[in-house]
Amino acid sequence: MTWGDVLLHGWDLEPSVIVGCIGLLVGYFVLTREDKREWWQLTAYVSGVVLLLLALVSPLDALSDHYLFSAHMVQHLFLMLIVPPLMLLGLPREFFERLLRIDWMRRLELRLRKPALAWGMASADLIFWHIPHFYDLTIQNDTVHIIEHLSFLVLYTIFWWPALSPLKESRLSPMASVVYLFAGMAVNAILGIVITFAPAGFYSAYLHPADPFGWLSTIRNQWGITPHLDQEIGGIIMWVPGSFVYVIANMSILGVWFSHGEPDEQPGKGKGNEPVPVVPKLAER
């Protein structure tokens, strides 16, 4: 077996996933058809949905479910740290303004946008699903696995909201956002370090997989990926690339802040569209 065989035969075109992703795209174009969508917003949202689809139906999913803990960590990285922020960034501000005119949605948003709550729920979710007993359960039970994935998507969308919300009143200040995301990165990195240096077989589901595709011999003997090495690679993926996503987010937030002042205002423009020097504006901060 080669990587080509994996890429050719490892697809799982689950109808519910495909229909769900099509629904996300159709809903986006219908619900934001009257809003001013920038090209980068359209690109971000569509990219988020495409990456979500690939994470759940591509050979990455087959490797994750049956063979490699490290592949599962790549999948989790997409579901927590890449897809939610891309989809949030892709939705125009007008969409959320309309949504929050609904009384119960406004009250829910006021509660969930609190940084401590958003960070706490996402962190608890991350830790809970990586406790060996519950992690192994997701591999053994499809329903539990679906619940895990949905919880990552929902709770990490809530997590990213205080830092990336297009609504100024819901968003933390740039420096507070940096601290907030750094706290999220710390939890992710610490868990990755623990997994990297944990004893072999920390997750027993990958010690003797069922091998439904007949790939196990190639993975173990040709690729040389033992269960212990696989676990170490998975921990490092959570630790290093996962932390890098947070670093990129923080650099982007600081870059927007230093180049434009308030993100909701155009550089060089005040509320009445009169010219305002950007440097004095930043100096006041």
Is the pLDDT higher at 64 or at 36? 64
pLDDT at site 142: 93
pLDDT at site 265: 44
- What is the tens place of the pLDDT at every residue in 128-139? 999 999 999 999
Instruction: Please check the confidence at residue 263 and state whether its pLDDT lies above 50.
Output: no
Measure the CA–CA gap between 33 and 30, rounded to whole angstroms. 5
Instruction: Please check the confidence at residue 168 and state whether its pLDDT lies above 60.
Output: yes
Identify the band that residue 185 occupies on the pLDDT scale cut at 50, 70 and 90: very high
Domain region containing 156: 3-284
Total-model pTM? 0.87
Instruction: Please check the confidence at residue 91 and state whether its pLDDT lies above 50.
Output: yes
Instruction: Please check the confidence at residue 58 and state whether its pLDDT lies above 50.
Output: yes
3-state DSSP assignment of residue 178: helix
Instruction: Please check the confidence at residue 106 and state whether its pLDDT lies above 90.
Output: yes
Query: For the residues 258-284, what does the mean pLDDT come to?
Result: 46
Whether residue 21 contacts residue 52, with contact meaning beta carbons closer than 8 Å, is answered with: yes
Count of structural domains, the chain: 1
Is the pLDDT higher at 273 or at 219? 219
Please report the DSSP string for 60-85 in residue order: HHHHHHHT-HHHHHHHHHIIIIIHHH
pLDDT at site 209: 87
Instruction: Please check the confidence at residue 38 and state whether its pLDDT lies above 50.
Output: yes
Instruction: Please check the confidence at residue 279 and state whether its pLDDT lies above 60.
Output: no
User: Quick one: tokens of 53?
Assistant: 């689809």
- Share of residues in the chain with pLDDT > 70 (%): 89
Instruction: Please check the confidence at residue 272 and state whether its pLDDT lies above 80.
Output: no
Burial of 33 (0-12, 13-18, 19+ CB in 10 A): exposed
Query: For the residues 75-97, what does the mean pLDDT come to?
Result: 96
